[in-house]
Structure 1
Amino acid sequence: MTVIQMQETSTSLDMARICDSLERQGCQARVVPRASAPCVVVSGKIADKAGLKAFPGVGLVSETNSSFPLASREAGLSEPGPMNIAPGLFIGEGMTVVMAGPCSVEGRNQILETARGVKASGASVLRGGAFKPRSNPYSFQGLGSEGIALLMEARRETGLPIVTEVMAPEDVEWLAPHVDILQVGTRNMQNFTLLKALGRADKPVLLKRGMMSTVDEWLQAAEYILAGGNTRVILCERGIRSFDKITRNTLDLSIVPMVKSMTHLPIIVDPSHATGRRELILPMSLAALAAGADGLIIEVHPRPDEALSDGAQSIDLQAFDGLMRRARRLIEALAAESESPLCSLRIAM
């Protein structure tokens, strides 16, 4: 594939001329809107590649064999610096973000108590499910729009941005104005209609890896969102299904440094879903940070044994506070290594 990055001063007429020329050569040209400057993704053999740079408005022209050119480092389309995911909050390029909160919003007291606690311990984003895709139809499915209202109240009180899952394409438009980050769960990673809708949304997207998906499939799912013009995609490794049932899933930590070498998109780790066991959340959180993850998303509940969903993989507020203290010490140790590529790491608060 060929990726043509346009100049900021380029016009719609400039892009129309390029696309017309490419299509006359038998190529497929797709214009991708971007905040900085649009780009054109070209499939097919271009007869006159040298002539592309002669068109008005053309900036960088790059070649890539990647099936996800917009997400790939090869195309050189990364925005400079860390990614802005909420007012005053950035991730990547040394900025580590910890998202914490309950699997499900169960009620006002529960979510406010959790929000206050994780905020005090240093979390930078409040997570909470209002619409819950559950394997069993009789399991608690979340509070729906009432849960969103409670998350918004928690945000007003604590100042924490909120991340919650969106399950259907038709929900994106009404939900986006009320939350800070939209999450795609493991079961919806290849819901392409949903991904296309998120590509048109002006909100960061947290894209969880499918429980049975390859890295290539995961990054191609991210490409759907990027191709719609939304450049703010955060990847989340949440464990994959394997033959071993000692843990709920198998946390594939080896892909953290691998994915970071393949894409400019930030990647965080979910040790809660990856293990399904609260005693493993601390060690796997630290292991994820040591592997180079840009952040964590952790299930925290004031009383995990009373949780309506995923209590076994949730930690209480005291345990989360201890985890954050350990995480800070680890990050400080990594930052002290002057030759380490992680030397600028710090937790965003």
Structure 2
Amino acid sequence: MIIVMKAGAAKKDRDEVLKRIRELGYRPHVIHGEIRDVIGAVGDERGKTVLQSIESMHGVENVVPILQPYKLASKEVRKEPSVVRISDEVSIGGDRLIIMAGPCSVESEQQIMESALAVKKAGAHILRGGAFKPRTSPYSFQGLEEDGLKLLAKARDLTGLPVVTEVINPETADLVAEYADILQIGARNSQNFALLKKVGQLKRPVLLKRGMSMTIQEFLMSAEYIMSEGNQSVILCERGIRTFETATRNTLDLSAIPVLKEKTHLPVVIDPSHGTGNHHYVAPMCFAAAAAGADGLIVEVHPDPEHASSDGPQSLKPAKFDRMMEKLKLFAEAAGKTL
């Protein structure tokens, strides 16, 4: 259920509603709108009719059942698009196309500093880089872990770029949150519900990647796990799904952009690097994603991809990334956004 407060309702009225929701055994989540607040009441679906009585309380306009299984992520709760604030200068979901760029994994101080300076110069807004790397093979490079986090923080100090990096388990989530501005949940962990709950309890924006075999509804239910723990700063990331096609690493589902825009208020970011697995295809998919209305892109950029520890074939060299950024402005403008 969502409780829609009247325009200009007093804080004391809202507090009484919150108190009553808790008394009825539900968890309230306040979503602040430009004109009025709405309150999501989350809990056991079987007894939700008792919440209808709140409609008679002072300051309440009406109580509306939410039809979708995902409640807080639904547009039924919030009609206008959410804007997730990352820093004083960067927000995702507004009228600017936000670019996250950097190497797949942090390999050395020289590599991450060179990458950070290059993507900053080209116009990127956020630095990406993996310190913890969940890999398909146990023998592959697994990341520098805390040393990698320290290097990302150093790169942020050098460039001023906020940092997004992956969290791979609940045990290290607090550590990653000490260094990162955005916590990334990778495709392999998109239904790791213990991890989703953990990042939902942390005060950091979360970039949630779609699992490689996930439906849109399953994707939004994973977002719901995070939001139901109190963290409303969730960014959805389409990174390609597994199909029968072998010409690309995954099949990048750009139709997910308009579908998600219709179903949720959360911002949508596209990852063309993992979506295609080939640096030749990254720029065209960036242009297409921008034209389709994406709120951001996350792109792998490496100064020496031929010798990268992970995902070299899908990484752009800085010069190619710079050229792509110049052309990307045209597609962003066509979609009503700026870089």
Q: Is the shorter-chain TM-score for this pair beyond 0.5, marking a shared fold?
A: yes
Matches within 5 A, 1:230-245: 230-245=231-246
> What does 1:150-299 correspond to in 2, within 5 Å?
150-299=151-300
Alignment of 1:127-138 (within 5 A): 127-138=128-139
Q: 2:122–2:321: 8 Å Cα contact kept in structure 1?
A: yes
Question: Counterpart in 1 of 2:68?
Answer: 66
Query: Displacement of 1:243 after TM fit?
Result: 0.8
In the TM superposition, what whole-angstrom CA distance separates every residue of 1:67-115 from its partner, at most 9, and x where no partner exists? 111111112275x763212232111132210000000000000000000
C-alpha contact 2:69 2:221 (8 A) present in aligned 1 = yes
Inter-CA distance 229–34: structure 2 relative to 1 (3 Å threshold)? farther
Alignment of 1:3 with 2:2, yes or no, is: yes
The amino acid of 1:191's aligned partner reads N
TM-score norm. by structure 1 comes to 0.88
Moved over 4 A (4+): 5-8, 10-14, 33-38, 45-50, 56-60
Q: Name the CA distance, whole Å, in 1 between partners of 2:329 and 2:283.
A: 13
For the residue of structure 1 that corresponds to 2:115, the secondary structure is: helix
Secondary structure, counterpart of 2:142 in structure 1 = coil
User: Once the two structures are superposed, what CA deviation does each residue of 1:116-142 show, in whole Å capped at 9, x if it has no partner?
Assistant: 000000000000000000000000000
Q: 1:13 to 1:164 in 2, by over 3 A?
A: same
Report the alpha carbon displacement of residue 50 of structure 1 after superposing the two structures with TM: 5.6
Alpha-carbon distance in structure 2 between the residues aligned to 1:148 and 1:272:
22
Do structure 1's residue 32 and structure 2's residue 29 form an aligned pair?
yes
| SS of match in other structure, 1:136 | coil
Residue 305 to residue 10, structure 1, CA distance change in 2 (3 Å): farther
Secondary structure of the 1:126 match is strand
Q: In structure 1, what residue type is equivalent to 2:285?
A: M
Cα distance in 2, alignment partners of residues 264 and 162 from structure 1: 23
Gaps of 5+ in 1: 24-28, 335-341
- Computed over aligned residues only, the root mean square deviation of the Cα atoms, in angstroms, reads 2.1
Which runs of no fewer than 5 residues in structure 2 stay unpaired?
A: none
What CA distance in whole angstroms lies between the structure 2 residues aligned with 1:197 and 1:315?
33
**Residues 187-216 of structure 1, C-alpha deviation per residue, up to 9 Å, x if partnerless?**
000010111111111110000000011010
Q: Is the 8 A contact 2:21 2:51 kept in 1?
A: no
31-40 or 288-297, which moves further after superposition? 31-40
The count of residues paired between Structure 1 and Structure 2 equals 330
Tell me the residue number matched to 1:92. 93
After superposition, the Cα gap between the structure-2 partners of 1:286 and 1:173, relative to the gap in structure 1 and judged at 3 Å, is same
Aligned partner of 1:317 in structure 2 is: 318
Q: CA deviation at 1:45?
A: 5.6
Distance 1:233 1:53 in 2: 29
